[in-house]
Structure 1
Amino acid sequence: ANIITIYILGALITSIYTTGYRCGVLYSLASVLLFDFFFTQPYLTFQVHSVAYIFTFTVMLIASLISGTLANRLKNMAQKSTQSAYRTKILLEATQLLQKAGDEADILDITATQIMKLLGRNVMIFTEEKGKAVPGRFYSNKQSEKNIFLRFNEDMAARYALKNGVITGYGTENLSSVDCLYLPVKADGIVCGVIGIEIGNQPMESFEYNVVQSIVGECALSMENHRNAVAKEQAAANARAERLRANLLRTISHDLRTPLTSISGNADNLMSNYEKMDEKQIKQSFADIYNDSQWLISIVENILSVTRIEQNGMSLNLSDELVEDVVMEALSHFSKKNSHIITTDLEGSLLMARMDPRLIVQVIVNLLDNGIKYTPPGSHIHIKAEKKEDMIYISVSDNGPGVDEEYRLHAFEMFHTGHRKVADGRRSLGLGLALCRSIVNAHGGEITLANNTPSGCTFTFTLPSSEVFIYE
């Protein structure tokens, strides 16, 4: 009985570690013959003298066949379960990766990679370009494998799938003589790519095909979502541009009328009454014309800068610059006869920052102009620069009336002026600080507004610092 049990155990092991039923059947027959040859009388022969042994052999053979068959079935079920779990894992992984894809190229790349991992077959992407299927990246887990997708008939099948939006190639009704299967990827009914899968002489299982279809479906859905997101973003950008244009037109037509009227009136007065005016009146008229024109030039420059940034982004010409040089350049834009007292504290002369000097000069000029505009004559404006860790902090402070919380929260928004009154009576368009924020953010820094102590406000912006090397 122990010997028979050992033989049946051998049948189980044979069925588990071999493929198909043939080896199990052969082992069962061989085990019966070996038992007869070695363990029944007469020994070392295949003769059987007792009828009871024939019954034993029959039961032994049947038990061995049944146990081997059951073991083989269990093994096949386990293998199919493992394959099913792996395929499901690939599908879920594809879904998660597609949700994180950045653009259409990433979406197609993830799809092709997951299909290659699922099937272990060669895969190729074909993208749409001017109505043609353009071969893209070739995916293969066999480094010596030739790319059969470049054959003429395969290229024709890929083009057919792209043009007609139907599955084409091996096993289909469309150009079935080729060796590959071509699945179109549709977004909103438009074919935006084709996934080619090498089939050859190894057709896909129905479950594999269904999983591939699911992955391609997820790819198409991700493509649609991406295109919808791009369209929504473009629509939002167009809406912002439209609002910007409307605000500019409304603000310009309303708020630039005063300085233009002043310039026109002073010019007309000079032309009509020049001979009757004394020298002081003439100089005052010229000064008024000059100041109004300078203010208009500043406003127009800010308008052009803001609209250019909003529409086309900002192009930086970065270099390592001395902060002192940039501050001095900004101060040179202001008249020495200015009624405000401007002081500096630059913490040494070798503070350097990575910047576009032309744009940073514009930031400092706008902040100084803001301080002059909103503080009474004789006010103090202080420029300070210092290094903290790897950033340069530049601040412009004044001792004016300061700002309220509502203004501080919205100070850097375009066209926001709050309830602050301009010292010279003109109205600000609210573009200067918005432009400052755009420039500083483009440099990788940030700009803030805080109340100064005991009065006034402080604008502070940061720039990446750069090292100074002195060679002796």
Structure 2
Amino acid sequence: MEEIRVNPDKLLETIRREDEKQQSGHLKIFFGYAAGVGKTYTMLKAAQAAKNRGIDVIAGYVEPHARPETLELMKGLESLPTLEIKHKNMTLREFDLDQALARNPQLILVDELAHTNADGCRHEKRYKDIEELLKAGIDVYTTVNVQHIESLNDLVAAITGVSVQERIPDSVFDEADQVELVDIEPEDLINRLNAGKIYRDEQAQRALINFFSIENLTSLREIALRRCADRMNKLAERVRNVTNAEYYNDEHILVCLSASPSNKKIIRTAARMASAFKGTLTALFVETPGFSAVNEEDKKRLRDHIRLATQLGAKVETVYGDDISLQIAEFARLSGVSKIVMGRYSAKKKYLFSKQTLTDKLIEAAPGLEIYVIPDKDAPYYKPQRPARRSGKFILPDILKSLAILAASTLLGFAFFDMGFSEANIIMIYILGVVFTSLFTSSKGYSLVSSVVSVLIFNFFFTNPRFTFTAYDNGYPVTFLVMLITAFITSTLVVKLKQYARQAVRTAYRTKILLETNQMLQSNKPRREIVEIISTQLAKLLKRDIVFYLAGEEKLGEPVAFLAEDSDDEEDKSFLSDNEKAVAAWTFKNNKHAGATTDTLSSAKCLYLAVRINSKVYGVVGIAIDGKPLDPFENNITLSILGECAMALENERVMREKAEADLLAKNEKLRANLLRSISHDLRTPLTSISGNAGILMTNYHTICEEKKLTLYTAIYDDSMWLINLVENLLSVTRLEDGSMQLNTNAELIDEVIDEALQHIDRKSVLHKITVNRPDEFLMAKMDARLIIQVIINIVDNAIKYTQEGSEIDITTAKSGGDIVVSIADNGKGIADDAKKRIFDMFYTANMEIADSHRSLGLGLALCKSIINAHGGEITVLDNKPKGAIFRFTLPAEEVTLHE
């Protein structure tokens, strides 16, 4: 039997989801199929039960009802004061989000989940308020009806004839922790309506006529029950995905986006299909060369449709081309699409001999795909409207260009006529003139008019009888017609080529920006440089001002502005106001988009996007909107660049943490090596000191003076050895962990050497130490205390490894910009293989030591660290004929003499 293995990626995703759930509040939705089924009543009963269990419950906002049973359940519950907002001489009462966050209860009641807030509230929609409450760790009870769920809006509208404007994304419903269906029989609901328990008499009568019929209520109840079942299926599917007990599924639904008013219904239908087939949903927009000329109303409608598709879980993609059916078919083929959803509006024919519809073309281009055409009887035939042509100075230059080209063509035509060229040659001149008009003017209309005028000019000047608009030859009308058609087709093709060229240049430029950004972020870079790269690239791509807030530990840092090339410097200040900073801070805290063109804090001047990986936010980017929202492609590529930015910042954080961990491991290794190395060496001199001291204490009066002096000397030597060891240990530790700070000053090198020689081993009297001083004063930039320790270590090392009576020479000299100090001895010297490692920590050469104290290999390693910290170098050389020379350099300082 084959073992079923758990999918690790899905398991990690589930763990992450559960962690987020534990940290955030829990949402319970009381769900009904119509008004009056008892959602608010059931919610208040659940709240009273929670209060009886000792939970801190408050009523954040409950719709005011005149029903006695509901009012009775409000008793004993703390109610949050509403937020009053003035609007058109009216006072609107809304849920006060800030006051609720400040109160911070365990559980809060917020009625009417799909409600649209009044202008002046932080969020446009109440479900956004509830999301912020959940993120703050507050549990929420709320209510919603079936007609308010986005994907069911058209289905409910077809049943009731009413299209509800207040809607919530399906994800809000599906991600709720609990959904309780509040259900009663339709007959009982109608009886409640007749009894006046839902609406007043006039409203009740209208409701019975327009909405509350047995047929309508039964259908709505069925939809509500089915939607709850769908939610349970999704929850079960998550469990199957984690345990890998899932079925193979390759359904990929593609829905076509447009600015048509009926496109919303197409998107919702496709979303329901994707959910039913348990497949992925992609929303595709084909941007044609003429899209830039579409009016603002259609562009806004298209943006709304893109937002709807995103809310319903679709991945939005944009492609470019003039042949829409070909672009859709190619995208479907390359992306593995199995089903395409379109609207019937695109399949309408207006005339008997009209051209193929988009659906027919798509069937021919992709015969292997299933194409679903969604009917919408209420949607009128849609044709994109272009904005009115601008007038005045913007058209005059093109008119002058067209006239100049016609005049030049006519002059050249006269020249050809005088030279005896045929009429066919002159016709080609005018066709060429039309091509030039197409190239140098901004609209196709100029070339079309030029085509007609060219025919008239040719007829007037170059056909018999000349200088009239009549023609003797019967073939001339055909010639004129062919000339007009040729000029028209040629001008049309040239205009299209211009559009394709502009589109290709723009696409190539954007692709180049994206590739440049990716290449710039390939190598490891510091955080500030990553921010600068991303912001500069976004400013170049979008031609808008960019504000970047880099995240610190728990809050955003100060904003850094990056202006577009054509931006006004003064305009930048408005993007850095306290209000804009507050919107950026909200985006950072909640890990969601906010600002201009969103439903949250939409009065801001910038659109704020979180630079994030899952729940980790590394910063916030503000994009100046200035009344011009991002188009679909700009939005997609911006999100891609921010994804690259988040990955780069994540890698930088990982590398920084790795470096810190490596340093910590290195320090731990150093400490372990130090402890291993000194455990025995500390015990030996301490044992000697305690033993000699014990002898003196117990036999002080019986020991001769000479023996006492010997014991005292041994105690002193061991003590000095320990002091030296401890000093080196402390210095090495401080240098390794970076806590030692150099206090450099200009010092006379001779004075430093004299001070060091006063602290060397007392056995120096057994050696001849000579200091060779130059005639000039030599000053070096150094920390005198540390350099004294370097000299002591090197001289003590020479005393330790040379026989009694050896010579130790200390020489100072100046070489270029350095002071060179050489310490030479005439001992046995150092082997060549040992020279390579003599400055490594814990390395000791196999050399006989004059005393009984074993070397730990710290002294010379410490010397190297100190000299390197001063910007100098230390080396070991052979001393001729025998011995060794230790030489180090320090930065020289000029001597200033004062009178």
- TM above 0.5, yes or no, is yes
Tell me whether 356-365 or 380-389 shows the greater mean CA deviation.
380-389
Match of 1:411 in 2: 838
Match of 2:197 in 1: none
Q: 1:252-401 residue pairs with structure 2 within 5 A?
A: 252-334=678-760, 335=762, 338-401=765-828
**Distance in 2 between residues matched to 1:132 and 1:368, nearest whole Å:** 55
- The reply to whether residue 196 of structure 1 matches residue 622 of structure 2 is yes
Match of 1:241 in 2: 667
**Distance in 1 between residues matched to 2:641 and 2:836, nearest whole Å:** 47
Match of 1:127 in 2: 550
CA contact (8 A) 2:447 2:491 kept: yes
Deviations 1:243-302 (A, max 9, x none): 122222222321111111111112111111121122222222222211211111111111
SS at structure 1 position matched to 2:893: coil
CA contact (8 A) 1:122 1:140 kept: yes
**Distance in 2 between residues matched to 1:36 and 1:179, nearest whole Å:** 59
Shift of 1:3: 2.9
Shift of 1:129: 4.2
Shift of 1:466: 2.2
Match of 1:54 among 472, 477, 486: 477
After superposition, the Cα gap between the structure-2 partners of 1:6 and 1:222, relative to the gap in structure 1 and judged at 3 Å, is same
**Distance in 2 between residues matched to 1:263 and 1:409, nearest whole Å:** 36
**Distance in 1 between residues matched to 2:736 and 2:496, nearest whole Å:** 68
**Distance in 2 between residues matched to 1:279 and 1:445, nearest whole Å:** 49
**Distance in 2 between residues matched to 1:79 and 1:429, nearest whole Å:** 74
Deviations 1:218-258 (A, max 9, x none): 21121111111111111111111111222222223211111
CA contact (8 A) 2:434 2:451 kept: yes
After superposition, the Cα gap between the structure-2 partners of 1:169 and 1:56, relative to the gap in structure 1 and judged at 3 Å, is farther
Match of 1:118 in 2: 541
**Distance in 2 between residues matched to 1:248 and 1:337, nearest whole Å:** 28
Match of 1:454 in 2: 881
- The reply to whether residue 30 of structure 1 matches residue 453 of structure 2 is yes
SS at structure 1 position matched to 2:804: coil
After superposition, the Cα gap between the structure-2 partners of 1:132 and 1:50, relative to the gap in structure 1 and judged at 3 Å, is farther
Tell me whether 73-82 or 316-325 shows the greater mean CA deviation.
73-82
Deviations 1:168-210 (A, max 9, x none): 4555566666553333222574101011212333343444333
CA contact (8 A) 2:763 2:799 kept: no
Match of 2:893 in 1: 466
**Distance in 2 between residues matched to 1:35 and 1:174, nearest whole Å:** 63
Match of 1:215 among 637, 641, 644: 641
Match of 1:146 in 2: 571
After superposition, the Cα gap between the structure-2 partners of 1:130 and 1:310, relative to the gap in structure 1 and judged at 3 Å, is closer
Match of 1:14 in 2: 437
CA contact (8 A) 2:607 2:623 kept: yes
CA contact (8 A) 1:187 1:223 kept: no
**Distance in 2 between residues matched to 1:118 and 1:135, nearest whole Å:** 24
Where relative contact order (Cα < 8 A, 6+ residues apart) is larger, the structure is: 1
Q: 1:139-178 residue pairs with structure 2 within 5 A?
A: 139-141=562-564, 142-147=567-572, 148-150=574-576, 154-155=580-581, 157-170=583-596
CA contact (8 A) 1:124 1:135 kept: no
After superposition, the Cα gap between the structure-2 partners of 1:347 and 1:67, relative to the gap in structure 1 and judged at 3 Å, is farther
Match of 1:425 in 2: 852
Q: Which amino acid aligns with 1:467?
A: E
Match of 1:226 in 2: 652
After superposition, the Cα gap between the structure-2 partners of 1:263 and 1:131, relative to the gap in structure 1 and judged at 3 Å, is closer
**Distance in 2 between residues matched to 1:135 and 1:237, nearest whole Å:** 30
After superposition, the Cα gap between the structure-2 partners of 1:17 and 1:153, relative to the gap in structure 1 and judged at 3 Å, is farther
**Distance in 1 between residues matched to 2:461 and 2:482, nearest whole Å:** 18
CA contact (8 A) 1:414 1:431 kept: yes
Query: Which segments of 5 or more consecutive residues in structure 1 lack a partner in the other structure?
Result: none
CA contact (8 A) 2:539 2:563 kept: yes
SS at structure 2 position matched to 1:19: coil
Shift of 1:74: 2.3
Match of 1:109 in 2: 532
**Distance in 1 between residues matched to 2:613 and 2:740, nearest whole Å:** 33
**Distance in 2 between residues matched to 1:80 and 1:32, nearest whole Å:** 32
SS at structure 2 position matched to 1:425: coil
**Distance in 2 between residues matched to 1:190 and 1:353, nearest whole Å:** 51
Shift of 1:156: 5.2
Tell me whether 443-452 or 131-140 shows the greater mean CA deviation.
131-140
Shift of 1:212: 2.4
Number of residues of Structure 1 aligned to a counterpart in Structure 2: 472
CA contact (8 A) 1:440 1:446 kept: yes
After superposition, the Cα gap between the structure-2 partners of 1:155 and 1:274, relative to the gap in structure 1 and judged at 3 Å, is closer
Shift of 1:421: 3.1
SS at structure 1 position matched to 2:621: strand
Shift of 1:461: 1.3
**Distance in 2 between residues matched to 1:379 and 1:15, nearest whole Å:** 99
Tell me whether 32-41 or 213-222 shows the greater mean CA deviation.
32-41
After superposition, the Cα gap between the structure-2 partners of 1:72 and 1:129, relative to the gap in structure 1 and judged at 3 Å, is same
CA contact (8 A) 1:324 1:349 kept: no
SS at structure 1 position matched to 2:830: coil
SS at structure 1 position matched to 2:765: coil
- The reply to whether residue 440 of structure 1 matches residue 867 of structure 2 is yes
Q: Which amino acid aligns with 2:571?
A: K
Shift of 1:307: 0.8
SS at structure 2 position matched to 1:416: coil
**What is the root-mean-square deviation in Å for CA atoms of aligned residues?**
2.6
Match of 2:497 in 1: 74
Deviations 1:423-462 (A, max 9, x none): 1110122211111111111111121223322222221111
After superposition, the Cα gap between the structure-2 partners of 1:161 and 1:393, relative to the gap in structure 1 and judged at 3 Å, is same
Instruction: Give the number of the structure whose alpha-carbon radius of gyration is greater.
Output: 2
**Distance in 1 between residues matched to 2:880 and 2:789, nearest whole Å:** 26
CA contact (8 A) 1:101 1:107 kept: no
CA contact (8 A) 1:350 1:468 kept: yes
**Distance in 1 between residues matched to 2:439 and 2:829, nearest whole Å:** 85
CA contact (8 A) 2:613 2:643 kept: no
Deviations 1:317-361 (A, max 9, x none): 222222222222211223596211111223333222221222111
After superposition, the Cα gap between the structure-2 partners of 1:175 and 1:393, relative to the gap in structure 1 and judged at 3 Å, is same
After superposition, the Cα gap between the structure-2 partners of 1:161 and 1:28, relative to the gap in structure 1 and judged at 3 Å, is farther
CA contact (8 A) 2:563 2:569 kept: no
Aligned-pair identity (%): 47
Q: Which amino acid aligns with 2:701?
A: E
Shift of 1:119: 1.7
**Distance in 2 between residues matched to 1:88 and 1:163, nearest whole Å:** 32
Match of 1:185 among 591, 597, 611: 611
**Distance in 1 between residues matched to 2:538 and 2:858, nearest whole Å:** 53
